[in-house]
Chains A and B, each alone.
Chain A
Amino acid sequence: MTESAILQKRSLAELFSRLIAAGHRLLAPVRRDQQVGFEPVSSPQEVATDWVQTTRPAKSVVFPRYEEILRYRFAGKDVEVEEPRPSAPSTVLFGVRPCDAASFAVLKAVFTWDSPDVYFEPKLAATTIIGLSCTKADPYCFCTSVGGGPGDTRGSDILLTPLDDERYLAEILTERGRMIAELAPGLFTPADAVSKERVLAQVPARFNGQDLAARLGRLFDRTEIWLEQSLRCLGCGACAFVCPTCSCFDIQDERDRQGGLRLRCWDSCGFSLFTLHASGHNPRSVQSERWRQRVMHKFSYQPERLGLLGCVGCGRCSRACPVDMNLAEHVQSLAEISG
Chain B
Amino acid sequence: MQQLHSKARQLLESGAVKVVIGYARGSDPQRARPCFVRRPDQADQLIWDDRCQQNLATYLLKPEVKSLGKPAVVVGLPGLRTILQYAAENQLADQAVLALTVSDHDQVAELTTFDAIEKYLATRPSGLIPEQAEELARLARLPPEQRWAFWSAELARCVKCYACRAACPLCYCARCIVEVNQPQWIPVASDPLGNLEWNIVRAMHLAGRCVDCGSCAQACPENIRIDLLNRVLAQEVEAQFGARPGLSVRKDYALATFRPDDKEDFIR
Report A's interface with B, CB cutoff 8 A: 33-35, 55-56, 65-66, 138-140, 227, 231-232, 234-238, 240-242, 250, 252-255, 263, 265-266, 268, 271, 273, 286-288, 318, 320, 322-324, 326, 329
- Residue B86 is within 8 A (CB to CB) of chain A in the complex: no
**Can you list the 4 inter-chain pairs with the closest CB atoms, starting with the nearest?**
A322-B219, A236-B166, A324-B33, A234-B166
- B157 close to A35 (CB less than 8 A): yes
Q: Which residue of B lies closest to A230 (CB)?
A: B64
Flag if B159 contacts A234 (CB, 8 Å). no
B151 touches A (CB below 8 Å): no
In the complex, are the beta carbons of A286 and B26 less than 8 A apart? Answer: no
Those of B18-36 within 8 Å (CB) of chain A: 26-28, 31-36
Q: Across the interface, do A139 and B27 meet the contact criterion of CB distance under 8 Å?
A: yes
Contact B64 A288 (CB under 8 A): yes
Decide yes or no whether B58 CB sits under 8 A from chain A.
Answer: yes
How far apart are the CA atoms of A265 and B158 in the complex, in Å? Answer: 13
Given contacts A236-B166, A236-B167, A322-B218, contact A231 B36 (CB under 8 A): yes
- Please tell me if the beta carbons of B34 and A232 are within 8 angstroms of each other in the complex: yes
How extensive is the interface on chain B, given as a class?
35 or more
Contact B189 A263 (CB under 8 A): yes
Q: By the criterion CB–CB under 8 Å, are A322 and B36 in contact?
A: no
User: Is B125 an interface residue when CB atoms closer than 8 A count as contact?
Assistant: no
Residues of B within 8 A of A320 (CB): 163, 221
Q: B15 interface residue, CB < 8 Å from A?
A: no
A326–B34 Cα distance when bound, in Å, is 12
Contact (Cβ within 8 A) B219 A232: no
Residues on the B chain within 8 Å of A329, using CB: 27
The residues of A that contact B184 with a CB separation of less than 8 Å are: 252-255
CB of B221 within 8 A of CB of A287, answer no
Let me know if B189 and A237 touch, CB within 8 A: no
Judge whether A231 and B166 touch: CB under 8 Å.
no
B94 to chain A, nearest CB (A): 25
Known contacts A140-B27, A227-B64; is-contact A234 B163 (Cβ 8 Å): yes
Q: Does B222 contact A (CB under 8 A)?
A: yes
Contact of B163 among A231, A236, A250, A263 (CB under 8 A): A236
A322 and B220 CA atoms in complex are apart in Å by 8
Contact A66 B179 (CB under 8 A): no
Tell whether, in the assembled complex, residue B63 and residue A286 are in contact, meaning their CB atoms are under 8 Å apart.
Answer: yes
- Which B residues are within 8 Å of any A CB, using their own CB? 26-28, 31-36, 54, 58-59, 62-65, 157, 159-163, 165-167, 179, 181, 184, 187-191, 215, 218-219, 221-223
11 contacts between A and B (CB under 8 A): A66-B191, A139-B27, A236-B167, A237-B161, A254-B188, A255-B184, A286-B64, A287-B62, A324-B33, A326-B27, A329-B27
Known pairs A66-B191, A287-B62. 9 more at Cβ < 8 A?
A: A55-B221, A234-B163, A234-B167, A237-B160, A237-B163, A238-B163, A273-B179, A288-B64, A324-B26
Selected contact of A35 from candidates B26, B58, B165, B223, CB within 8 Å:
B223
Report the separation of the CA atoms of residues A268 and B190 in the bound assembly, to the nearest whole angstrom.
14
Are B223 and A323 neighbours in the complex by a CB distance under 8 Å? no
CA distance A255 to B182 in the complex (A): 10
- B27 and A238 contact, CB distance less than 8 A: no
Nearest Cβ on chain A to B70's Cβ, whole angstroms: 16
* Residue numbers in A under 8 Å from B167 (CB-CB): 234, 236, 322-323
Question: Which A residues are in CB contact (< 8 Å) with B58?
Answer: 234
Bound-complex Cα distance A232 to B34 (A): 6
Q: How far is the CA of A273 from the CA of B181 in the complex (A)?
A: 12
Closest A residue to B19 by beta carbon equals A231
Q: Which residue of A lies closest to B187 (CB)?
A: A254
Question: In the bound complex, what is the Cα–Cα distance between A56 and B218 (angstroms)?
Answer: 17
- Residues on B with C-beta less than 8 A from A268 are 161
How far is it, in angstroms, between the C-alpha of A324 and the C-alpha of B62 when the chains are bound?
17
A287 partner residues in chain B, CB cutoff 8 A? 62, 64
Of chain B, the residue at the smallest CB distance from A250 is: B188
Say how far A31's CB is from chain B's closest CB, in angstroms: 13
State whether A238 and B189 are in contact (beta carbons under 8 Å apart), knowing that A232-B34, A322-B167 are contacts in the complex. Answer: no
Task: State whether A55 and B191 are in contact (beta carbons under 8 Å apart), knowing that A65-B159, A236-B162 are contacts in the complex.
Answer: no
